[in-house]
Amino acid sequence: MSKVIIIAEAGVNHNGDLALAKKLVDKAKEANVDFVKFQTGIPELLVSTLAPKAEYQKRETDSSQTQLDMIKSISLSFPEFRTLKSYCDESRINFLSTPFEEQSIDFLNDLGMDYFKVPSGEITNLPYLEYISSLGRDVILSTGMSNLSEIETALNVLKRGLSDDQISILHCTTEYPAPFNEVNLNVIPMLKAAFGLKVGYSDHTKGLEASIAAVALGAEIIEKHYTLDRSMIGPDHKASIEPSELKQLVSSIRNIEVALGHSVKKVTPSERLNIAVARKSIHIKHDLMKGEKLSKNDFIMKRPGNGISPIDYHKYCGRVLATDLPKDHMLKEEDLL
């Protein structure tokens, strides 16, 4: 298995404050993630003045505020993103940001990133996908709120300008936080089988379990929202993990990568050391005299396991003793005629 790509999704958890965004970069770096990701958009080009908030946004922000006003209040400008990208470069952590319209796509393309991250909300935005495809950059496509037909349509658009090895898809449940009974992690291997592409998981659940399980199911990319403090005001903080949990997530994923290993069932080097201790050998159940013929009733299987294996006990039934044997004696070939 190749190394899982771990994306720490800072998103808009900087609340529109560049200093907080830099602190989020610092925490992502401390956790040893592969990428720190933000969201880039011009609010007026993203939502109309009449666009309502999602229910989770109403819960976590001023309910009287419009979606447009909310997004304006938590957005960074292009110059601030340029500063943030430089800060990531200096901090030696990879920068990503999700663009939400063409001007932001152009800006981020000029800024230089390893991937374009397409958010779930744009999966049916064909003009957006066509423009992303035309730039020839690698793409990670989130698939929240979609069905297989919509995913296939989006991929067909992206493939006009991109090869299969340039496209990854993320399973996702677009709710904040996502309820566990709607996570459906078994979709991950299904998507791999259906499309033959690299598949990952964008995790909006509380806690770490879903991300860790996703890796065990074959996810090659994990994206997880994080924040400096879940008690902060803002739409995504409550559904995010905190820095200590981000460190734990990275450590757990790296352990799972190693633990998955290979698909060959064989005795491992460390297990070999325990065979004699944990397995059993044929022992004598009661005192026996020279010349007696052995039967199953004369055997008791006890540790240690460095003698004759019980797997072969039937071969010793009917054998004749060459010497007297006391109770609890471990049977050996030299005891027999």
Which residue, 158, 205, 224, is CA-closest to 5?
224
| Together in a domain, 238 and 274 | no
Token pair for residue 247? 């460190």
Beta strands in 54-159 (DSSP E): 94-99, 116-118, 139-142
Peptide bond into 99 cis (omega under 30): no
Number of domains in the chain: 2
The pLDDT value recorded for residue 66 is 86
| Together in a domain, 250 and 273 | no
Contact 199, 191 (CB under 8 A): yes
The pLDDT value recorded for residue 57 is 85
How far is 134 from 162, CA to CA, in rounded Å? 8
How far is 105 from 116, CA to CA, in rounded Å? 8
Domain boundary at 214, 233, 260, which?
Answer: 260
Domain that holds residue 52: 5-260
| Together in a domain, 242 and 278 | no
3-state secondary structure of 172: strand
Q: How large is the C-alpha radius of gyration of the chain?
A: 30
**Which CATH number goes with the domain that contains 230?**
3.20.20.70
10-residue averages of pLDDT along the chain (337 residues):
92 96 98 98 91 82 83 95 98 98 98 96 98 98 98 98 98 96 98 98 97 98 97 92 98 96 95 96 98 97 97 97 98 97
| Together in a domain, 135 and 238 | yes
The pLDDT value recorded for residue 51 is 84
| Together in a domain, 299 and 234 | no
**Which class for 143: exposed (0-12), middle (13-18), buried (19 or more C-beta within 10 A)?**
buried
Neighbours of 110 (CB within 10 A): 9
| Together in a domain, 275 and 232 | no
Contact 4, 219 (CB under 8 A): yes
CA atoms within 13 A on the CB side of 195: 29
Domain boundary at 260, 277, 292, which?
Answer: 260
| Together in a domain, 159 and 201 | yes
The pLDDT value recorded for residue 1 is 59
| Together in a domain, 184 and 288 | no
Domain boundary at 260, 287, 306, which?
Answer: 260
**Which CATH number goes with the domain that contains 329?**
3.90.1210.10
The pLDDT value recorded for residue 263 is 93
| Together in a domain, 107 and 245 | yes
3-state secondary structure of 206: coil
The pLDDT value recorded for residue 331 is 98
Strand partners, 283: 300, 330
Q: Phi, psi at residue 23, to the nearest 5°? A: -65, -35
| Together in a domain, 77 and 225 | yes
| Together in a domain, 143 and 233 | yes
| Together in a domain, 202 and 307 | no
The pLDDT value recorded for residue 245 is 98
